A and B are shown apart, each in its own frame.
Chain A
Amino acid sequence: MNNKTFVFLIPFLFFVAMAILLWTGLGKDPTKLDSQLIGKAIPVFSRSTLQDESVTITNDDIKGPALINVFASWCPSCYNEHPYLMTLSKSKEIKIYGLNYKDERSKGLKFINDLGNPYYQIIFDNSGRLGIDMGVYGAPETFLINDKNEIIYRHVGIVNQQVWEEILKPKIYPGELIHGGR
């Protein structure tokens, strides 16, 4: 009898285990991949800036803490994201570098000239190889780097006020969360 109840319990226990396993997967967006570069320094690179082909920008020119925002004129979500990047840039809460990813220089420039430039400097990566070195698989993506130029976090999708206040800012300025009393 005891043995039999155990046998009948097995499918139930199996169900519970599967339910827990599947439950934890719910709400996760499978298209959002974890970055492999967390804790690592930004890759070594040397590119021209978007505005001037003759000006070279390298990884040594990047000074964290900062955001590195991957954008392109062909990326629809980048247009949605752009107004908040302007706001964030004006607030001077954090420096934003731009990575113009797999774009044409003229189109990238038009994007900035038409909509405004929230970026401290813009790296022009038309081959997309720097993007690949950073594990970029789409735009927009935003990397958060600390004062040692180490990547702390990668956000896939647009940055808006909520993303900045609730996800990115606490990771780079953990003290201010306590002061803010949230």
Chain B
Amino acid sequence: MSYMIKNIKVIQAIFVAFVVFFSTTVSSEILVYEFKDTELELRFNHLTQILRCPKCQNNNLADSNAPLAVDLKDIIYEKLHQGQSDEQIIGFLKERYGDFISYKPPLRPSTWLIWFGPFIILVVGVILIIRFVAGRKNEASSSVSKVDDSVSGESILSEWKEELETGNSQDINEQTTDKNTSSIENNKSEG
């Protein structure tokens, strides 16, 4: 019994040692910035999200642990506490690292293609589709009206009835099947 208690105590001690050991290593790896107020903290988080690390090019500053990214975060932190605006801070970094530092390309003639290109393609695409669909409709409606002019559904029916009464059925059958198939084709092309 006492042996088991002893064992449990050893395990507890090992557990505590592990917790202490790992918690210190973790806290030493994460850089902690302390802020005057939450507004500065939110701005810091926002800026480090939208700014890109020049060294590790597919990371933003927040996600990067590269020494340069850490330095840049320190600079942003300092400048925020000096009371600089977001624009001033971004401007400071752009002066040194160019537009590359920002994920948002500025609007200027050389970037018009990136900004407006997708919309131009969209508009051109929509115009083409509208024209294409309209063209098809015109084709379809013109061929339907041709049939309507010569023989409407009602006139076929009345003709058929008339001729049924006269008893000349064989000839009529041929005629109507012809007309039915042609009208089905028209329906298809319209849809």
Contacts and interface: CB of A to CB of B under 8 A. Distances in A.
Interface of A: 7, 10, 30-31, 33-34, 36-37, 102, 127-129, 132-135, 137-138
B98 interface: yes
A36 B95 CA distance: 6
Given A7-B128, A30-B57, A132-B75, A102 B67 contact: yes
Closest 5 CB pairs of A and B: A137-B54, A135-B96, A36-B98, A137-B55, A128-B71
Contacts of B124: 10
A129 B97 contact: no
Interface residues of B, number: 17
30 contacts: A7-B128, A7-B132, A10-B124, A10-B128, A30-B57, A33-B97, A34-B98, A36-B95, A36-B97, A36-B98, A37-B96, A102-B67, A128-B67, A128-B68, A128-B71, A129-B71, A132-B68, A132-B71, A132-B72, A132-B75, A132-B96, A133-B96, A134-B96, A135-B97, A135-B98, A137-B54, A137-B55, A137-B68, A137-B97, A138-B68
Contacts of A102: 67
Q: B55, B75, B97: which has the most chain A beta carbons within 10 Å?
A: B97
B81 interface: no
Contacts of A129: 71, 75
Contacts, number: 40
B100 A33 contact: yes
Interface of A is mostly: loop
A137 B100 CA distance: 12
B137 interface: no
Interface string B122-134: 0010001000100
Nearest to B113: A21
Nearest to A34: B98
B94 A36 contact: yes
B96 A33 contact: no
Contacts of A30: 57
A62 to B, nearest CB: 18
B52 to A, nearest CB: 11
Given A132-B72, A137-B97, 4 more contacts: A7-B132, A10-B124, A36-B94, A36-B95
